[in-house]
Amino acid sequence: RIMLKLATIFFCLGAVIASDVDTYNGLVDETLFLAQQLMVQYKFDTLPLPPISVSYKNEKLSPSWNDVTGSVSTGPGTVVNATGIHRNGDAKITLVDDDKMVIDVGITTDPMVITFLKFDISFSSPFPISSSGGMQIKVGQNDATLQITFQKNTGVCKLNIDTATVTGLGSVDLLILPDTWWAEVKDKGVDYYLGNHNDDLKIVTNKYLQTALQSAVEKVNPCQYLPF
């Protein structure tokens, strides 16, 4: 049933290139909604993450974080609860030649939780921290840009998530795992660091969005029904 609905939507999407922005937006909204259903159905709402390792040597990370020396490393992690994806602003649809259609659209995502059961931190400055434990990070509503390409090449249709780039992270909260040391170190600035120097979190969420969406559409590839 999902495949049939997606096929109908993408057929209409190809047929209304000359139509108005409201039509584009409505079709993109429905496409994102169905992509979320696919992510849940095929278990792409929870994805594994590779270990992360970051080190600093006498670096200035913020006005109040001078001469930072230390490292943060994790074991494998997971991202969960990121199936809420919503259009933000008008979609732009471009036809390239007769066989390619590109959609650019801004999106927002619902809050997600990133979990690392192993999390090691060791700083010698600006204050000493050295401990191990588990960590969960709750990232609030995020802003991102999404580009989707539909293309037919010698009769073969391909739907590809070209980019899913997080442009802004929402609030970042640390969730204390049971029996870990976070209650002791949160107030020493770790939460401030994660909230204000979050490039690593952006990389994680970029990877999650693109991988999850691409995996979902590859399970049900309806772009063969496009009329070009």
Q: Answer for the pair 46, 175: CB distance below 8 angstroms, yes or no.
A: no
Quote the number of domains for the chain: 1
Q: In CATH, what number is assigned to the domain containing residue 144?
A: 3.15.10
pLDDT at 74 over 50: yes
Query: What confidence score (pLDDT) does residue 166 get?
Result: 82
Q: How confident is the model at residue 208 (pLDDT cuts 50, 70, 90)?
A: confident
Task: Give the angle subtended at the CA of 33 by the CAs of 29 and 34, to the nearest 5°.
Answer: 120
Structure confidence by residue, pLDDT tens digits, 86-120: 889 998 888 887 777 788 889 888 888 888 888 88
**How large is the average pLDDT for residues 59-84?**
79
- Which of 167, 86, 182 shows the shortest CA–CA distance to 132? 182
Residue 62, pLDDT > 70, answer no
Residue-wise pLDDT tens digits, 178-204: 666 556 556 555 665 565 556 767 777
In terms of residue numbers, what domain contains 44?
A: 2-225
